Each structure stands twice: as structure tokens, then as C-alpha cells.
Structure 1
Amino acid sequence: MPGPARRAFTVEADGGSRGNPGPAGYGAVVRDADGAVLAEDAAYVGVASNNVAEYRGLIAGLRAVRGLDPDAEVRVRMDSKLVVEQMSGRWKIKHPGMRELAAEAREVFPPGRVSYEWIPREKNKYADRLANEAMDAGRRGEQWRAEASRAEPAAGTGGAGTREGSGARREGGVRGEGAVRAEGGVRAEGTGKSATPAVGWGTDLGAPTTFLLLRHGETALTPQKRFSGTGGSDPELSATGRGQAAAAAGLLAARGTVQAVVSSPLRRCRETAAAAAGRLGLDIRVEDGLRETDFGAWEGLTFAEVRERHPEDLAEWLRSTKAAPSGGGESFAEVSRRVAVARDKLLARYAGRTVLLVTHVTPIKTLVRLALGAPPESLYRMELSPAGVSEVAYYADGHASVRLLNDTSHLR
């Protein structure tokens, strides 16, 4: 006997870019079979093209439906002919970035469970308004937040963005199931309240400041596992490292939420940051506090060589974060203090925004440790790969949330 009929939902998605590429945002609305609005989402996605923004809105809407019912049937209605035709399989997708976004959209539901319909712009006003609200918020240095109540936009009204794209965002690579996340909380449509608190303890703390932490790509020293810090030869990226940087840049461009790029002053980080900034259309700010540990006399040596030449110093260094490498290097405790100063400076500068920090193993581990409130010894229990991505969100009450650690999926 046939199983029960699947629930049917409609997604209306839209997006725009003021400049193409330029400041971009998306909006997405989920309706039930009777046309009632169940959920909405919107976000400023940084500098992106119209098409990227449109795809991001599609993905956001599909993920919102999956949160409501992972077994659903979905009808997508959009006024982007490009996205509708490409996702329907009638137009070939030539641009590599568009292929990545289309693949991401197809992963949300199995084949055959989503259909696509083109609609005129005037029939997509709700999603259009959300996209423009998100772009307006981004222009003010803020992030879009759901309002307490929504009214259907009147016919003939809409936003002022140049549209051709829309997109979705996974905060920290994790999307909450059962509701759609708006900045500052997961909003249940019709209540005007957060269904699930942003931090988990019942307080709406607003949009967090989000640090995406990217370790630089490989250098010639990385596969040899040689100490490579501030006091060494300042090596450039290897060919492998440049490929890793390009892959990370593609991931960040597809995510679309990065609003600023900050780098350690060391060459390998600046080169990695340049790959990402080029894809994002952003400038690079250098922050000296994000530099790697100075390993003193151990620079350029392998662990075995250090054990052979400086056995007592190495043993003490492994016992205590207050111990410094031989020859006037920095202890992890000293690095922690300067990283904390850099963190506070960046939090003040980029409040409420999403920032890419391109740095090294020790600063990333330190930021994660401090966010968790973990003991100093936890530094020895984390592993970070070249071009791995981590994420920490900082809230208005001073608390932080680690959302991601050492994601390397873009390198596989």
C-alpha cells in the first residue's frame, strides 16, 4: 500500500546586489499548502553578485523547510530565470561558483522532491522586501533580525535592490532543525518570539560578532612538521598551500557572509588571506596580535631535533604553558595575553559583523580555548589542519560560543 502523502510547502526566495557585485542580501519565505507563512529568513551576505545572492536565498528557504519537515515536498517559486532554469536542469551551469551553490541546494532534499517555477517579480514581493531589509541592515553595519509581526506586502511595493540572486547561510556550518534561524534567535512565525534562544538560555542578545578562523595553507615546512613561528624564515605558501587557500576562498565566497578580512602579518597568512579577499571583493587589514608564537631557537627544527638538542626545555614546555622555548621564545601564556588584546580590539571594531581572521595554530587554539573557558592545558589537546576553518561567535553579554572547529570539508 502507498505510504501517507507528504506535506507540501512553498518556498519564495529572492536576493539582490547593489552594484553586481556589491553589497548583497537575500530573503526567503516558507508557506504551507494554504499559503500561510510558516517561517522567514534573510541575511546580508557581504559583497556578492546577484546570482550568488539568489542562490543563497534558495538554499536558505530549502533548509527552512527541512527544519520543519525533512520528508516534505517543496515547490520553489522565484523570479530569477537563471536559478529556476539551472535548478530544473534545462540550462547548463557553466560558472564554477554557481555549480557549487546548485550542488549545495540539491543536497538539502533528495532528487524529485523539489520543483521549480518562475514567477514575475511583482509576485515575489515578500521575499524581495526581506532581501532589501537585509541589505539595508548590512549597510548600517548590522545584521537582519526578524520583527515581531509581518504583514504581506501590498501589490506594487518592494525593495530597491538590483536583483538576480539570493542565498543561504549556515551559521557555523550547523543549521537548527525545526525552525529557521534569524540573526539573534530562531524565530517561530506568528509568535514574534524566539523558539530557541540564540545562546540557549532564554535571552535575545542580538546579532553576535562572528570570527571565522582560517589557518593558513601549507608551506614547505608544514609537511616536515618543523617549528615555524614569528622568529623564523617567514616562508611563503607552497603549491599545495596555494591550492588549499583557493579551496578555502571558494568555501567562504559560497558562504557569502564575510564582511571583513583580517590577517596575521606573516607572509603565509597574507597570501592565504589574499586568495579569500580576492573572491570576496574585500581589503585586508593586518593585525600584529594574530602572529604565531616565537619559537626562539627551535625555529625550523623538527620535534625530534628539538628533543635531541633541548630535552629539558622541551619537557618543561610540554608541562606548562608558562614555559618558553629555548633562546628567548614566547610562552603560550604570553601569546594568550596578546591574542586576547587583539581579540578585544577586533570585537570593538567589528561589532555585530562576520570577520575572517587568517592566522596560525596557536592564535586559533587560544581564541577557541578562551571562548570555551577551558584550562591552558587544552591547547595541547586540539589539532588544526592547514586551511582548516573554525568559528567563534561573541555575544553582547560577554559570552562566546564555539560553533565549528577545524572544518576541512572544502579540501576533500
Structure 2
Amino acid sequence: MAVRAVVIEADGGSRGNPGPAGYGAVVRDPASGEVLVERSEAIGTATNNVAEYRGLIAGLEAAAELGAAEVEARMDSKLVVEQMCGRWQIKHPGLRPLAARAAVLVDRFDAVRFSWIPRERNRHADALANAAMDAAAGKPAKRAVEVEPPREVAARAATRNAGTDPATIKPSWEPRPSFTATRLILVRHGETEWTVQHRYAGRADVPLSDQGRAQARATAERVAELAPSVAAVVSSPLSRCTATAEAIADALGGLPVRRQDDWVECDFGDWDGKTFAEVREGWPGELDAWLASTRIAPPGGESFATVAERVDRAVAALREAYPGETVVVVSHVSPIKLALRDALAAGDAFLHRLYLDAAGISVLDMWPDGGVAVRSVNDTAHLAGR
């Protein structure tokens, strides 16, 4: 029978690092603590980290087989937790395929939260892993001793739309009053030299080209037509955005431009400034892993999952600060795509299928009850002939 939410406790280790290795994973009911599934396996000679990832993968596979929609994965491996959250780089090449495999599994669930727990709270999975290590070393396997199960309920992953659960919003074709919606006019910055050269442009502060400045002026005129009354103009702190935002603010009567770090582009790390072809040639494995999952970061960079967290925070802040008003946001490809993905309740494949032109405009409305309507995507009619 399918379950809505589960808790995974996973562990792994080796006798010698590397040495005889094994993993253990336990899947529990979050309310009662009842054990739903146990998994363990001896995996031959491997490192602690490889075994820990294998334990996580086994737990995620078991949760998927149970039909779970929401997962809290608990591990006493700080490294695995931080890497899966996108906060730490995956430097060891042997861990990247395992992290990518885990990330693909994570994407099968509606929500996944990773939590670090001390080893004493992970004794069941630890005992399973130790039994598997004994088996890998040729010792008789011992049955893991059950410990008192944790009774705390797994926290539900944060949902979009400032705390409103999208599942509770009833679909409707009926028109909503536009004056109650917070409207975001999302503008990608104008063209830069790197745009034309098809280079990854993350945190490098590349200025607008002459063409980009002309696009910014045209975009400013179009925004003024769309929204003569604007409460605020918000911008990524990078100059290609602030220059575009300042042109728009001037067209709206000299509004101040508010710089907001959460709208900055994804950090592409070692790929920043490289052409798409150079990245494909120099980092083929890393690029495939990155394209396969939003939880994988470029070497030295930031995952789309991490970008999505700050974009969610930024959207919620604007919704709270400007109820029923219009806000212009000047940002970059990745943050705008992620905002539109969530507004449309789309999957991650959306990120690779949507194209956003330089100086393109997208519009979305958000109502107090959590309803969302995407009015337009990548409007570029104002750039005709430019």
C-alpha cells in the first residue's frame, strides 16, 4: 500500500577506508516510527563515503517502491547531506556518479528533505551497515538489534507560494480580480558580449553591450506600457541587470532600483566565462550529471536546487511586501526559469525546454489564496528590429 510520507535512516562504512564495506537503510513511518523496509548489502572493497551514498540510494529506492511522495532522509554523514543539499562540492570523481544516481531518485518525489543526525540517533541503520561490513570481511553476519524508534513526525518540506499548499488550491477557469493579485514582471537583462558568444555567465560582472543597452531602453518602454503603476523595481546586483533596471525605473518616473542578492544568477563555478562547447569538451561527465539533476552543482559552483531555494524566498518576500501591487524584477535566465517552473507547477525538464531571450519579459500573477496565473513568457515583440 502506498504511503504519503516516510523517513529514511541510512548509513554505510568500511573496515579500513577503503576496505570491506557495506551499507544499511531503514524506512519508517514518520508518525509511529514503525519500520516499513530494511535494506543492507555488503559491497566488497570501498570507502566510507561510497558506502554511505549506497545506503542513501537503497533507502530512496525502497521509499519509491512504497509509493512515497515525501521523504526525510536522515544520515550521520555530514558530507553526503551537505553534498545532496548542494552546499558542498563533490570533489571526488568516484562519488559523482553516486550523487547523480541519488539525485535522479530524489527527483521522483514531490519533496525531499535531508537532515544530519548524530550517530547515536542512527543506530538501526548503523547496525545494519556493520553487519554488512562483517559479511564483506567474511565474518558471520549479525542481526541488527532494533533500538527504540524515533517518534517525531518528519517535517513537511516547505511548499511554494508563501506557505500555501498548492494541493489545497482548487482549479478554476473563473477569472480572478486582477487588483488583488501581486504581479511580477520578470525581465531578463539585456544582451552582453558573453550572450552572443554563448558563454556561461554566472557571477562574473559582464556589462551590457551597445545592443544590450538599446534592448534595455526598448524594454523600459514596453514595461511602462504594461504597467504604468509599479510599486518597486528590484534587480540582481550584477551590472547587466542593474543597468537594465535603471532604464526601466527611469521610464517609470525615476523609481529607485532595489538590489536583491537572491535574484543573482546561478554560480557556474569553474564554467563561468567558458563557452558551452568548452564545457562539453572539458567536463563531459560533470556536465551530464548537472543536466540530469537540479541537485548537482557545476565544479566550484551552485546547484539549481540551491538557486530555487533563494528564488522561492525572494518571490515570497515580494508577495508579502507588495500585496495587490506590481513589481518589476530584473534578473537572469536561471532565476527567472525557476520562478516560472514553480508558477506552472512544472517538472525540472521545463528548465531545459524553455528559452529566454535577452531582454525578454514574462508576467505572472499571485493571489492571496495561493492561486497563480502565468500571463506571458518571454515576450520579445518590443525588440523587433533591434
> Does structure 1 residue 241 correspond to structure 2 residue 216?
no
Shift of 1:377: 2.3
> Which position in structure 2 is the counterpart of 1:258?
230
- Is the CA contact 1:205–1:397 (under 8 Å) kept in the aligned structure 2? no
Sequence identity, in percent? 48
1:252-297 superposed Cα distances (whole Å, 9 cap, x missing partner): 2233232311001111000000001011121111111000000000
Measured in 2, the distance between the counterparts of 1:206 and 1:252 equals 18
1:182-221 superposed Cα distances (whole Å, 9 cap, x missing partner): xxxxxxxxxxxxxxxx962477686100000000001111
The structure 1 residue matched to 2:201, chosen from 228, 237, 256, is 228
1:12-411 equivalences under 5 Å are: 200-201=173-174, 207-230=180-203, 232=204, 234-255=205-226, 256-281=228-253, 282-326=255-299, 328-411=300-383
> Which position in structure 1 is the counterpart of 2:25?
none
TM-score by length of 2: 0.53
Shift of 1:376: 2.0
Cα distance change of structure 1 residues 284 and 324 upon mapping to structure 2, 3 Å threshold: same
Question: Which stretch has the larger CA shift, 257-266 or 352-361?
Answer: 257-266
- Is the CA contact 2:179–2:325 (under 8 Å) kept in the aligned structure 1? no
What is the letter of the counterpart of residue 411 of structure 1? L
Measured in 2, the distance between the counterparts of 1:257 and 1:374 equals 30
What is the letter of the counterpart of residue 390 of structure 1? S
What is the letter of the counterpart of residue 250 of structure 1? E
Measured in 2, the distance between the counterparts of 1:205 and 1:383 equals 27
Aligned residues: CA RMSD: 1.6
Measured in 1, the distance between the counterparts of 2:241 and 2:353 equals 23
What is the letter of the counterpart of residue 210 of structure 2? A
SS at match of 2:194: coil
- Is the CA contact 1:213–1:357 (under 8 Å) kept in the aligned structure 2? yes
Measured in 2, the distance between the counterparts of 1:216 and 1:376 equals 23
Shift of 1:240: 0.3
Deviating 4+ runs (over 2 angstroms)? 198-206
What is the letter of the counterpart of residue 266 of structure 2? T
Measured in 2, the distance between the counterparts of 1:320 and 1:202 equals 36
Measured in 2, the distance between the counterparts of 1:240 and 1:313 equals 33
What is the letter of the counterpart of residue 304 of structure 2? F
What is the letter of the counterpart of residue 218 of structure 2? A
- Is the CA contact 1:226–1:300 (under 8 Å) kept in the aligned structure 2? yes
What is the letter of the counterpart of residue 201 of structure 2? S
Measured in 2, the distance between the counterparts of 1:200 and 1:355 equals 25
SS at match of 1:211: strand
Paired residue total: 212
Question: Which stretch has the larger CA shift, 341-350 or 251-260?
Answer: 251-260
Cα distance change of structure 1 residues 236 and 204 upon mapping to structure 2, 3 Å threshold: closer
TM-score by length of 1: 0.50
1:341-400 superposed Cα distances (whole Å, 9 cap, x missing partner): 111111111111011000000111111111111112211110000000000100111121
What is the letter of the counterpart of residue 212 of structure 2? G
- Is the CA contact 1:265–1:288 (under 8 Å) kept in the aligned structure 2? yes
SS at match of 2:357: coil
Measured in 1, the distance between the counterparts of 2:260 and 2:321 equals 12
SS at match of 1:352: coil
Structure 2 unmatched ranges of 5 or more = 1-170
> Which position in structure 2 is the counterpart of 1:87?
none
Structure 1 unmatched ranges of 5 or more = 1-197
Measured in 2, the distance between the counterparts of 1:293 and 1:387 equals 18
- Is the CA contact 2:362–2:376 (under 8 Å) kept in the aligned structure 1? yes
1:206-256 superposed Cα distances (whole Å, 9 cap, x missing partner): 6100000000001111100100012x2x01100000000000011122332
Measured in 2, the distance between the counterparts of 1:250 and 1:244 equals 10
